[in-house]
Each structure stands twice: as C-alpha cells, then as structure tokens.
C-alpha cells in the first residue's frame, strides 16, 4: 500500500518575518522593563533623599530653635560663604548633653557646621562643644578648628547648602556687616542621588555624553525650611 505523506514546513521568508516580529516584541518588552526599573529606582532614591532631608532639617531646627541670643554685643554666631553657598557656620544653643557624662550638663554649648568642600556631592559635618568650653570662652563665639572628618557626619550627599538670616521673610540680614539680631533663619539645601553622582562622574571621565544640567535636574531634590529663632537673650 502506498502511503502518501503530506509535509508542511515554514518557508525562509516566513521564518525571517517571525524572527523579526519576535525581535521587535523583545525590544519593546526590554524598553518597557528598563523604563519601569528606572522609574522605580528614581522613586526609591527620591524617598531616600526625603528621609535624609528630614534628618538634616530636624537636627538643624533643634539647634536653631534653641539658639541663645546675646544682649551685650558679644559675637554669637559666624557664617562663612562661598558665593551663595554656606561653607561653615556656628552659634550657641541651649542643648541637652549628648555625652552622658555628669561633667557635661545640659546647658549652653557651642555648635558648628562645616561643608567638607565645594564639590558634588559634599559632606556636612556637625560639631558640638561642651558646656565647660562655652563657659570658659565667656560665650564668645569662635569658629572651632576641629570640625573635621572626625566629627559627626550629618550627610554626605549634598549638592548645596545655605543658611541665611532674615528680619522678615522679605528682608535678609547680612551678619558680616550688621549686628542686628535676626528673627528668622532660612535653611536651603539640595541632595543628589547616588545614581546622579555616578552619571556626573561618567560625564567628567568622558564615558557619557549626557548634559550635566539635565543630570542635576533629574537626580537632585531641593529642600527649604524657615526656622523661627526663639532663643533666649543672654
């Protein structure tokens, strides 16, 4: 008995069309997945920066709301700036002891902040003296030389940081030329994500042709907080 076999097969053209469609679908899926992961990563970075910002704000607010203002003309604060960015600053605050030692009571002490360097990202350090040191200096502010890497690191992803003093929200006071006691402090700073730092480094090394301004816009978040000075006169 003769058995007839019917064989069906794809032509080369059909295979090429199928492969083309599969490649297009794979590329589309990859693009969607990559875009979704990018959005997710940036959302996580934004949330992380939000948490970091709250830590910075809460610490500086505590220090400034406890600030002790003078009544006898003594130097109570010092702010150093490079352009529009604050590089260091300090003042006296009525703070609780953080050392836990009996010899370090909860009273007025000197507090200072310092930016590591004018780069992106920068590190922000906080220094706190003892009550005995403040008493020994006669509560005369003198910028401590020990605000270094050995002191408390408040943040290490700053893109910029500025403290400014104001009579009203519309009238800024320049402490360098005025002895007037301000009523408000404006805290401004920007944080940059780890991804943004990596992208900036790639541009600097010539590995990427991205525009630096675009990277900063996409990977930094700016925070502003007005702080009312409630410090008691001394």
What are 35-87's pLDDT values in tens digits?
Answer: 776 676 667 777 888 888 999 999 999 888 888 876 666 666 778 887 778 88
C-alpha span between 14 and 10 (Å, rounded): 6
Q: Give which of 171, 184, 174 is closest to 228, Cα–Cα.
A: 184
The answer, yes or no, to whether residue 172 has pLDDT greater than 70, is yes
d(CA 40, CA 81): 37
Tell me how far apart the alpha carbons of residues 60 and 154 are, in angstroms, rounded to a whole number.
10
Any domain includes 18: no
Number of domains into which the chain is organized: 1
pLDDT band at 90 (very low <50, low <70, confident <90, very high): confident
| Torsion angles phi and psi, residue 142, rounded to 5 | -145, 120
Is 119 contained in some domain?
yes
Residue 108 has pLDDT above 70, yes or no: yes
In a domain, 35, yes or no: no
Q: Report whether 147 contacts 88 (CB < 8 A).
A: yes
With contact defined as beta carbons under 8 Å apart, do 104 and 167 qualify?
A: no
The model carries a pTM of 0.72
- Domain-embedded: residue 233: no
Is there a domain that residue 12 lies in? no
Q: Does residue 115 sit within a domain?
A: yes
Give the range of the structural domain holding residue 53, as residue numbers without chain letter.
41-228
Using CA atoms, how far apart are residues 55 and 191, in angstroms rounded to an integer? 12
Cα–Cα dist 71/208, whole Å: 56
More confident residue, 215 or 150: 215
Task: Summarize the confidence of residues 100-104 as an average pLDDT.
Answer: 58
Is the per-residue pLDDT at 170 higher than 80?
yes
Q: Does 156 fall in a domain?
A: yes
Task: Examine residue 16 and state whether it is found in any structural domain, yes or no.
Answer: no
């Amino acid at each position: 008995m003769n058995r007839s076999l019917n064989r069906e097969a794809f032509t080369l053209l059909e295979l090429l069309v199928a492969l083309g469609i599969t490649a297009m679908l794979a590329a589309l899926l990859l693009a969607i997945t990559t875009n979704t992961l990018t959005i997710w990563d940036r959302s996580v970075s934004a949330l992380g920066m939000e948490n970091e910002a709250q830590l910075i704000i809460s610490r500086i607010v505590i220090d400034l709301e406890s600030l002790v203002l003078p009544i006898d003309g003594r130097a109570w604060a010092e702010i150093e700036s490079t352009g529009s960015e604050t590089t260091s600053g300090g003042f006296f605050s009525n703070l609780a002891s953080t050392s836990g030692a009996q010899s370090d009571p909860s009273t007025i002490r000197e507090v200072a902040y310092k930016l590591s360097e004018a780069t992106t990202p920068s590190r922000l350090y906080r220094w706190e003296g003892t009550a005995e040191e403040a008493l020994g200096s006669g509560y005369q502010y003198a910028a401590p030389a020990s605000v270094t890497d050995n002191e408390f690191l408040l943040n290490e992803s700053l893109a910029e940081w500025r403290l400014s003093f104001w009579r009203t929200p519309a009238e800024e006071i320049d402490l360098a030329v005025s002895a007037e006691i301000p009523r408000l402090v404006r805290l401004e700073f920007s944080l940059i994500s780890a991804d943004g730092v990596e992208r900036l480094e790639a541009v600097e090394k010539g590995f990427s042709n991205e525009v630096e301004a675009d990277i900063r816009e996409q990977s930094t978040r700016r925070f502003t907080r007005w702080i009312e000075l409630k410090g008691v006169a001394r």
